[in-house]
Amino acid sequence: MVEFLGGDCLRDASCAYILGCPEESKNLDATLHPDAFPTLLQQGLDVSRSLWDTRFLIAHLDIEYVNFDFPGEAYLHPQRIFSMQRPVVHAIQRLLLQWEIVPLHLLTGRGHHFVWKIDRNSDAFHQLKQLGRISTTLEGRYQEPCAPRGLCVEHSLGQAFAGLGLLMEYLGHMAKHQVIGNSQLSVQLTDIEVGATGQSCCGREVISIDLSEYADPLHKRHIRVPFSVYLKPFQNRNAVGEHVLAATPPIFEIPLFEMAEEEAIEVMRSAEETMELAGRASVHIPEQSSGTQRLLEHYRQSSLKSFHDWFYQQDHHPPEHWRSTYDRCQLDQLPSCTRHILQHPNDLLLKPAGIQHLVRVFSALGWHPRHIAGLIRSKYERDFNWGDRWYQRDAATRADGYTRLFAGLIATGVDDAVDLNCVSNREKGYCFEPECGHNLADYRDSLRARKDHERLGCRPFDGLFLPNQHF
């Protein structure tokens, strides 16, 4: 386990911190020095290490099964939910092999983690640094000393992490494109609620290629340590249900090492077999700078790279101008579902599906995606009882990250907004006034027409809302 912390012994660990989470809470304790690792294990905690590393840039890709109606399904029927992920996992493995990236492959209670590291002296790191853009507010946060070591996130590392987020979006696009028609479940680039498909008796379920960590500051994200106990079902006790917990054995995160996936699912549910595996399987994070460089070369030739360049050609309006810009948004001319999200952003704008809905509707109305992000940021930075959320995270980075993700799917043709209609919206739980007089299919048609005629983002941010006029 110490290997995964980035050293041969705890005093040499390169992770910036560790933390542990108990069974009864999703709230993580304070960040701790790696020296505290044995104590966390003795307490039986679910132990994670920082994604922030003092020597390398860590690349992490998370694939998992998500069920919005029956969260316990993942733990009751693990063989089924892992089989549902295979088309996505195989697509990612093929892509990584194409670029000669050989990651550490880990199995969790709900899915897969692929992890590798990039040397800070490599060409790949320097190119990621050049690609990355970070907000001025995030720059300020990166300059603040962080517990427990009093370290600051170096500017170059923060930029490279932002660039890595763009690269992971590209990998997600490629994987999603490859599994079209091959996956029984909808494949999303984060855990987006979907409507009923009629194909499943197990509720609304998706396979998520989770890119959410790249919409947050580097020093606020962490990844579970292999061979640590997996306590997520117990931390979500109310949603999962006591009957599921009673039937769930202890689960441990393990590497997929010299065994088939079916066998690994059994091993990770046995403390004895997990201990035996830990004695012979390395979980050292492999250095894959050269492969990342090859992936970067492909990304630079992609339509997504062109979209990213276009996205950052605009800037958010500064807060002092919001009253005369984003606050002029004509809510009465929006569909009720869209208006409701803007009026009740906590917690609807914390949900990926809520952000996706805004991105689609405002893109259909001609808004540039960077100003859609600016509008979302203006809600995050207003008093909607957020508590200390935006002191811990960064509002501009979150707004940019999710908006860029969903707008990029539209711009590159990966998302044709087939479910942008009132029936699907109702099934997702985002229809708040069924007879509002608007038809979301009109916005879908406008969005498609704008995409086909290269008219995305062609109106000023406060342009007239005329959904019946497609251009």
The pLDDT assigned to 28 comes to: 58
Q: Which of 114, 111, 105 lies closest to 82 in space, CA to CA? A: 111
Residue 283 belongs to some domain of the structure: yes
Residue 370 belongs to some domain of the structure: yes
Residue 97 belongs to some domain of the structure: yes
Burial (CB < 10 A; 0-12, 13-18, 19+), residue 161, is buried
Q: Could you give the strand order of the β-sheet that contains 222-224, starting from the edge strand earlier in sequence?
A: 18-21, 46-50, 222-224
334 and 202 both lie in a single domain: no
The pLDDT assigned to 460 comes to: 54
Q: Using CA of residue 188, residue 193, residue 197, residue 201, what is the dihedral sign? A: positive
330 and 412 both lie in a single domain: yes
- Which domain-ending residue is among 295, 322, 352? 295
Residue 32 belongs to some domain of the structure: yes
Contacts of 39 (CB under 8 A, 6+ apart): none
288 and 338 both lie in a single domain: no
Residue-by-residue pLDDT tens, the chain, 471 positions: 999 999 999 999 999 999 998 876 665 558 999 999 999 999 999 999 999 999 999 999 999 999 999 999 999 999 999 999 999 999 999 999 999 999 999 999 999 999 999 999 999 999 999 999 999 999 999 999 999 999 999 999 999 999 999 999 999 999 999 998 899 999 999 999 998 765 557 899 999 999 999 999 999 999 999 999 999 999 999 999 999 999 999 999 999 999 999 999 999 999 999 999 999 999 999 999 999 999 999 999 999 999 999 999 999 999 999 999 999 998 988 999 999 999 999 999 999 999 999 999 999 999 999 999 999 999 999 999 999 999 989 999 999 999 999 999 999 999 999 999 999 999 999 999 988 999 999 999 999 999 998 889 886 544 444 444 433
Give the total number of structural domains in the chain. 2
Pairwise CA distance, residues 209 & 441, whole Å: 27
Q: Which domain holds residue 25?
A: 3-295
The pLDDT assigned to 200 comes to: 57
288 and 141 both lie in a single domain: yes
335 and 268 both lie in a single domain: no
Structure tokens at 277: 């595996």
17 and 126 both lie in a single domain: yes
Residue 471 belongs to some domain of the structure: no
Decide: helix, strand or coil at residue 430: coil
324 and 273 both lie in a single domain: no
- Which domain-ending residue is among 268, 295, 322? 295
Pairwise CA distance, residues 269 & 254, whole Å: 10
Contacts of 457 (CB under 8 A, 6+ apart): 310, 363, 366, 367, 368, 369
Residue 302 belongs to some domain of the structure: no
Strands (E), 249-389: 254-255
Whether the Cβ atoms of residue 341 and residue 357 lie closer than 8 Å to each other:
yes
The pLDDT assigned to 180 comes to: 87
H-run or E-run covering 352: helix 352-364
289 and 406 both lie in a single domain: no
The pLDDT assigned to 50 comes to: 97
Taking CB atoms within 8 Å and a gap of at least 24, the contacts of 78-84 are: 78/109, 78/265, 78/269, 79/262, 79/265, 81/110, 82/107, 82/111, 82/261, 82/265, 84/183, 84/184, 84/185, 84/205, 84/207
DSSP 146: B
The pLDDT assigned to 95 comes to: 98
Residue 114 belongs to some domain of the structure: yes
The pLDDT assigned to 15 comes to: 98
142 and 248 both lie in a single domain: yes
The pLDDT assigned to 416 comes to: 93
258 and 116 both lie in a single domain: yes
Burial (CB < 10 A; 0-12, 13-18, 19+), residue 153, is buried
Whether the Cβ atoms of residue 339 and residue 436 lie closer than 8 Å to each other:
no
19 and 80 both lie in a single domain: yes
Residue 309 belongs to some domain of the structure: no
291 and 408 both lie in a single domain: no
Domain containing 176 — which CATH number?
Answer: 3.90.920
Q: Which of 171, 151, 180 lies closest to 214 in space, CA to CA? A: 171
